[in-house]
Homo-oligomer: A and B are copies of this chain.
Amino acid sequence: MTAEYFLVLGLIGVAFFAVAGALLGYEKNISGFGVVVVATVTALGGGTLRDILLSKPIFWIETPDYLYSTYAAIIATVLLIRYLPSVNNYYFLVVDAIGMAIFNIMGIEKALISGSGLVVAITMGITTGIFGSLIRDVICREVPSVMRNEPYASACLAGGLVYAALFSQDISYIWCILGSLITTISLRLGSLHWGWHITIFRKKDREVSQKSEVQNS
């Protein structure tokens, strides 16, 4: 039962991230085959790193369905954009948030199955959730989402804590997943909509100009 949920969630997760990658490629006006590369890296990067770290076979090599799901989502997105060119940045953020929330859970789950403790599992969830989009942003020369002062990795962390709390109460698996998904997605999208942000450091006046340079360059 768990394995089936896992596969379905995973296929949906890679598809969402593939769409997010293709949309960013479109935004950055990469018109060639590079769009496929960026979208594939976004979709498979986080889970690949998770499997490498846990010394498991890479998920898309063991189960090529993930690869087919990725390629199908990319082709669908490319066709959609060609015929509906009004797609905008808002869709990208929603799709990216859903993908991140799903991968966060999958990272936690797979680490727990491998016998890791909770701190390692939550770290693995964050890694799985943010790594694909981190590589995508680096390749596209964007400021990585995780470096902006909006909840991103912290939305993964919150989703992970909710998952752990529900799981420890022996609540049914499907509710653990839903609770974590809703927490991560609503924190991420809520923060974008209402401008929530986390401040660990008080801003330094002398570097405000330097900061804006980083964010805009």
| Chain A residues at the B interface, C-beta cutoff of 8 Å | 26-38, 40, 48, 52-55, 57-58, 60-61, 64, 67-68, 71, 78, 81-82, 85, 111, 116-117, 119-120, 123, 126, 130, 134, 138-141, 143-144, 146-154, 157, 197-204, 207-208, 210-211, 214, 217
Contacts and interface: CB of A to CB of B under 8 A. Distances in A.
A200 B35 contact: yes
**9 A-B pairs with the lowest CB-CB distances in the bound complex, closest first:** A29-B211, A33-B154, A32-B149, A32-B198, A34-B147, A31-B201, A29-B207, A31-B149, A33-B153
12 contacts: A28-B211, A31-B197, A31-B198, A32-B151, A32-B199, A33-B157, A34-B146, A35-B200, A64-B119, A68-B119, A140-B214, A141-B217
B200 A29 contact: no
Interface SS of A by simple majority: helix
A40 B134 CA distance: 14
A153 to B, nearest CB: 5
A60 B116 CA distance: 10
Contact of A32 (B53, B82, B139, B154): B154
Contacts of A151: 32-33
Given A29-B204, A139-B146, 19 more contacts: A29-B201, A29-B214, A31-B201, A32-B149, A32-B200, A37-B126, A37-B147, A48-B53, A54-B61, A55-B58, A60-B120, A64-B117, A68-B119, A78-B200, A85-B204, A139-B144, A139-B147, A140-B214, A217-B217
